[in-house]
Amino acid sequence: MLFVRYEQLRKKEKSMLSELEKANAAKIAQLEESLKKKKKDDKTFSILRKTLGSFLGNASDEDFPHDE
């Protein structure tokens, strides 16, 4: 009887751990996509600043603080 209860709890714990792993993997994937988008947006903004700087003739990318 005690062994059966132990096995039930063990299976439940394994199931919970599996669900947590899946949830964490999904969250990591979501954060990686968000980071990729942010990097792409940062690059696009940098290109826009350079383009505007050359259009205005006197501004350069060095005139702006770098965001890290």
Tens place of pLDDT per residue across the chain (68 aa): 899 999 999 999 999 999 999 999 999 999 999 999 999 999 999 998 888 888 887 555 555 566 55
Can you tell me whether residue 19 is helix, strand or coil? Answer: helix
Question: 3-state SS string over 33-68?
Answer: HHHHHHHHHHHHHHHHHHHHHHHHCCCCHHHCCCCC
pLDDT of residue 33: 97
pLDDT of residue 13: 98
pLDDT of residue 63: 56
